[in-house]
Amino acid sequence: MKIIEKLELKTFDINAHLLRGVNFYKSIVDYRERIFPKLKHKIKSDDQFECPLCKGSAKSELMQWKQVYKLFECQNCGAVSPNIDNSGEDYIDSVYEVEEYKEKFIRETHSQYDYRKNNFGRERFKYTIDRLGLDKNSNVLDLGCGAGYYIGTLHDAKIQYKGLEGVDHLVDYCKLQHGLNVEKTDLEDEKDGSYDLVTMFDVLEHLSDPIETLNTVNKKLKPGGYCVAYTPNIFSIGYELMGVRQNTMLPFEHLCFFTQGSLQHLAKNTGFKIDKVETFGLDIMDYLLMKEYEDDIEYSNKLHDMMVLVQSVLDKQKVSNHFRITFKKQ
């Protein structure tokens, strides 16, 4: 499209159904409805709120779901988080090792793996390895590697890498289905000063203590090393359009949403400086998939070119639904 060239827009041209699946939004709705009764007891009263980033208690309510599940904006650091109790050794298993989560993973991953690796994986490869000037002599750690889209591209390029994943069935999937170097070991066990790059794609929002984790990441990096993280932007067009219906609003999984200010707080308290922060998202695609579910009309195919164009404008204006942050070790 000529307008894209004229405005110097960067596009991410994807097929919504190949990436997400035809019934993606229905599966999100079903998953939320099934998981809520099992974890409802983890919701705390409003006066028990504590920000997972700065531990502050001053807050303002941003949005709510089913009346009792609420997201609060911290008045100290600006981070947004739910009022839930995620303490206890069994919390991770109660969220990620249950049949509902495994079924969601299978639906989202098995049939779309190759497409996601060739699109998400390649985009992340370019944004990290190519942009930062790394090569086969570099050592990369992917923290929370999930299904292995990114490390699959590192594996193919013969770059030294290791994936860490805390969920058993994801570790098995990466190792047994794709032959990837993935372990369920603690980040603390990695050798200090051994990595040129640590990546965290859609991981920050799952952490109960982001500062503790980023401090540990800092120790594992070589001097001048980088940590690149992708995480949802709750103050995005996607959330303006969809509110609590936005598909990255995953109760009990997502524990902290970041803002520009809270990202600076995170960097300042973990020995990093922010080298670059920008937004990059799928706001329009996710909105159209939600409307497909509601109206039973294939909007994403009919409006594909518009979807790509509008999203590229949102990305340039830094209002898309994901942050891409490059932290540099000081």
Whether 174 has a pLDDT exceeding 70, the answer reads yes
Per-residue pLDDT at 1 exceeds 80: no
Return the closest-CA partner of residue 174 out of 191, 198, 194, 149: 149
What is residue 2's predicted lDDT score, i.e. its pLDDT? Answer: 55
On the question of pLDDT at 213 being above 80, the answer is: yes
Taking only the tens place, the pLDDT of each residue in 76-125 is 999 999 999 998 878 988 998 888 888 888 877 777 899 999 999 999 99
Q: What is the reported pLDDT for 103?
A: 86
CA distances from 304 to 14, 21, 82, 84, 108 (A): 9, 15, 34, 38, 21
pLDDT at 6: 53
Percent of the chain with pLDDT over 90: 88
CATH T-level assignment (fold) for domain 2-329: Rossmann fold (3.40.50)
Question: Could you give the CA distance from residue 19 to residue 286 in angstroms, rounded to a whole number?
Answer: 11
Closest of 323, 207, 320 to residue 254, by C-alpha: 207
Q: Where are the domains of the chain?
A: 2-329
The 8-class DSSP code of residue 149 comes to H
Contact predicate 220/187, CB 8 Å: yes
- Residue 110: what pLDDT? 75
* Residue with tokens 């590697």, as numbered in its chain: 145
Per-residue pLDDT reduced to its tens digit, 127-167: 999 999 999 999 999 999 999 999 999 999 999 999 999 99
43-55 pLDDT tens trace: 999 999 999 999 9
pLDDT (0 to 100) of residue 7: 58
Q: What is the pLDDT of residue 296?
A: 95
Please check the confidence at residue 263 and state whether its pLDDT lies above 60: yes
Q: Give the model confidence (pLDDT) of 272-310 as tens digits.
A: 999 999 999 999 999 999 999 999 999 999 999 999 999
Averaged pLDDT of the chain: 94
Q: What is the DSSP string of 238-273?
A: HHHHHGGGSTT--TTT---BB-HHHHHHHHHTTTEE
Span 194-200, mean pLDDT? 98
Q: Is the pLDDT of residue 222 over 70?
A: yes
pTM over the 0.75 mark: yes
The secondary element (H helix, E strand) that includes residue 197 is strand 195-201
Q: What is the pLDDT of residues 2-26, one digit of tens each?
A: 555 555 678 889 999 999 888 899 9
Please report, rounded to a whole number, the percentage of residues in the chain having pLDDT higher than 70: 98
Give the residue from 157, 166, 118 showing the smallest Cα distance to 135: 157
Structure-token match 């401090």, residue found? 215
